[in-house]
Amino acid sequence: MIIELGHFALILALCLTLAQAFFGLIGAATRRPHWFAVTQRAVAGQFVMTACAFASLAYAFYVNDFSVLYVAQNSNSQLPTFYRFAAVWGAHEGSLLLWLLVLSIWTVAVTAFSRNQPDIMISRVLGVLGVVSVGFALFILLTSSPFERLWPAAADGRDLNPVLQDPALAIHPPILYTGYVGFSVAFAFAVAAMLEGKLDSVWARWVRPWATMAWLFLTVGIALGSWWAYYELGWGGWWFWDSVENASFMPWLIGTALIHSLAVTEKRGLFKSWTLLLAITAFSLSLLGTFLVRSGIIESVHAFASDPSRGLFILVFMGTCVGVALGLYAWRAPLFRSNVGFAVISRESFLLMNNVLLVAATFLILFGTLYPVFLDAMKLNKLSVGAPWFTVAFLIPMLPMVFMMVPGMHADWKRATFSRTKTTLLAVTAVAVLAALLLSFVAYGWHSILAFVGFVAAFAVALSALVDPVNRLRKGHSLSASVVGMSIAHFGLAIFVLGVTTVESYHIESDLSLRPGQTAQLAGYDFKMVSVRDVVGPNYDAVESEVVISRNGKQVTVLHPQKRTYRVQTSPLTEAGIDAGWGRDLFVAMGEPLGDGAWSLRLQYKPLIRCIWLGALVIALGGLVSVTDRRYRQRVTADTGAVSPAAAETL
């Protein structure tokens, strides 16, 4: 009964989003202010209805209602309660409902935080968001309903995929979707501006916090996925250039370009149509990602059960939304040309290079992901494009970009002279090279030119990011949130680069067999297997071994890697034993029993790998800090054009 109510709630939500779309867009076009109020009511209503639909599904999972097909496919009575809730978004149908819920939350946020903005603009934004919501609601109701019944009801469910029974992975989709879906807001603002035929610096000021919030959630979501893959998949990798990973990374790259481009538009009114294009592209890539992983066009370990008919629906939907937006762009973009320029060396030109390189990287990843599909469609030989190609293809645009950040952060608008910062920057470079040499020769031992270059980049960016805040503090100036945020985010990137360079150059791994009582050596550590025993978990049985790690005779830690067999899906899963440390991770994974009490083990030494995720989190933190800047909460409207005097000093 509850499920049917949930189904009905979703249908009501569809009706309300139709109303939202209609009243929002037509009301703005025909200048009917009272239709704006209707739009807002529709938004509130569809949020409540979507939440109810979601809640009904969650409830079905909570009470183990196996007469619901989706619950029977993804849950089990032995599944711990927390994972029963996470199983709601464990497969295609439920994850789409989550998508819709997240979209409705963003829509409500837009109504809540837009008091300072003109109703016409917000009405259009809500209307566009309504159109997107309609698409997804229809998609769920017509092709992917989680509310189907199973008669006769299953005695018990097929269980949630064991790989997904993990806290990090349980919250990875909601956070990731918050990011993906959040770009729809920037998209909606872009479409609204194009419909209105007006785009100015004030528009950029409104859009920036929305874009940044979506972007920072996406950053955390991707980092979570990477971290999970590392400790769960048993062999120490943290990024595989798998199609679905790429599908989430491409919007992130464009999102980064977008927030930088918005800075130029806000500050100088330049790059207007380019910013529009980026806002459209970021969300298009989110939609594209949805298409890629659910249509069956790309094979991937992440891909949901694929179905060409679903793929067709998303393709048509995406084609319509993005096609209309790009058509608007072709029509309106000429309006936004500006006749103001900047010097060859200036902050604007640095940001332009930043954007160009980010877009190039995105195109390359898209190209590599789709190339096998392209060749296959042309009936040429099937081949595959894997991590080796992607790594090279990604570094080629990104390495120069990282280096350009060092002076770029300090370039002045309009014309950069570097008069005040030249000596500091030279000092920064020198210190970076020195630190890189120290790390390369003294700490870790020389590996390669690339590793050295990576170290230089990391230190140079880190120091460069600190120059500005430190200078200001010393002179007694105040620090605005956006300056602090920017520095934090750039510093986070430096940490990330340091982590990647170190772990990829200096990691050590070894496959060997050990018997209880035997010891192996790796990277200066002794790994002693003490015992192997059977353990029983809530919904799995496991063989667990106890491994004591010591260094120079002193015990460092005791690890308990397991080889689990989940009872329902009867599949084996390795839970690695990891000793996490800021300086290094030690990693032990069990392989197969070799007979006679011996087991094959994989031992790994991963220096500075935690810096990868720490860096990502710091980047996201920087974004969060910059969003709190006072200027986003001021009353500035396009009509008056007046800026309160306080704003003139901040920024």
Within positions 306 to 365, which residues make up the interface with other proteins, using CB under 8 A? 308, 311-312, 315, 318-319, 322-323, 326-327, 329-330, 333-334, 336-344, 347-349, 352-353, 356-357, 359-360, 363-364
Asked whether the beta carbons of 577 and 564 are under 8 A apart, the reply is no
At 282, which amino acid appears?
A: A
Is residue 445 part of the contact set for other proteins (CB under 8 A)? no
- Take residue 441 and report the two structure tokens written for it: 């020769």
- Take residue 281 and report the two structure tokens written for it: 């592209």
Residue closer to other proteins, measured from CB, 4 or 511? 511
d(CA 565, CA 542): 6
Is residue 304 part of the contact set for other proteins (CB under 8 A)? no
Is residue 76 part of the contact set for other proteins (CB under 8 A)? no
Binding to other proteins (CB under 8 A): which residues in 170-229? 198-202
- Whole-number minimum distance, CB 312 to other proteins, in Å? 6
- Whole-number minimum distance, CB 2 to other proteins, in Å? 30
Of the residues 33, 167, 386, 517, which one makes contact with other proteins according to CB under 8 A: 386
Contacts 24+ apart (CB under 8 A), 236-242: 236/507, 236/509, 236/576, 236/587, 236/589, 236/602, 236/604, 236/606, 238/503, 238/609, 238/612, 240/387, 241/365, 241/368, 241/386, 241/387, 241/390, 241/391, 242/300, 242/301, 242/302
Of the residues 6, 24, 94, 162, which one makes contact with other proteins according to CB under 8 A: 162
- Whole-number minimum distance, CB 331 to other proteins, in Å? 8
Residue closer to other proteins, measured from CB, 9 or 370? 370
- Take residue 94 and report the two structure tokens written for it: 């439920």
Which region, judged by CB under 8 A, interacts with other proteins, from 115-123, 407-415, 515-523, 617-625? 407-415
- Whole-number minimum distance, CB 125 to other proteins, in Å? 19
x/- map, 413-432, other proteins, by CB under 8 A: xxx-----x-----------
Residue closer to other proteins, measured from CB, 244 or 435? 244
Is residue 392 part of the contact set for other proteins (CB under 8 A)? yes
Asked whether the beta carbons of 140 and 100 are under 8 A apart, the reply is yes
Residue closer to other proteins, measured from CB, 117 or 273? 273
- Take residue 229 and report the two structure tokens written for it: 């893959």
- Whole-number minimum distance, CB 311 to other proteins, in Å? 5
Residue closer to other proteins, measured from CB, 5 or 375? 375
Residue closer to other proteins, measured from CB, 331 or 441? 331
> How far lies 189's CA from each of 232, 308, 593, in Å?
39, 32, 58
Residue closer to other proteins, measured from CB, 101 or 463? 463
Residue closer to other proteins, measured from CB, 140 or 164? 164
CB-based burial, 540-559: b 16+ in 10 Å, e otherwise:
bebbbbbbbbeeeeeebbeb
Could you give the angle at the alpha carbon of 369 between the alpha carbons of 364 and 373, nearest 5°? 125
Contacts 24+ apart (CB under 8 A), 365-371: 365/241, 365/246, 365/249, 365/250, 365/253, 365/390, 365/393, 365/394, 366/246, 366/250, 368/241, 368/246, 368/393, 369/243, 369/246, 369/247, 369/292, 369/298, 370/298
| Count of residues of this chain found to bind other proteins when the rule CB under 8 A is applied | 128
Is residue 490 part of the contact set for other proteins (CB under 8 A)? no
x/- map, 45-74, other proteins, by CB under 8 A: ------------------------------
Q: Give the chain's radius of gyration (CA, Å).
A: 26
- Take residue 394 and report the two structure tokens written for it: 């990604």
Provide the H-helix boundaries in 447-605: 449-475, 481-506
Is residue 6 part of the contact set for other proteins (CB under 8 A)? no
Binding to other proteins (CB under 8 A): which residues in 241-260? 242
Residue closer to other proteins, measured from CB, 550 or 569? 569
For tokens 């397991």, name the residue: 562
x/- map, 587-616, other proteins, by CB under 8 A: --xxxx-x-----xxx--------------
Phi-psi region of 146 (alpha: psi -120 to 50; beta: other; left: phi over 0): alpha
Is residue 144 part of the contact set for other proteins (CB under 8 A)? no
Of the residues 511, 530, 580, 630, which one makes contact with other proteins according to CB under 8 A: 511
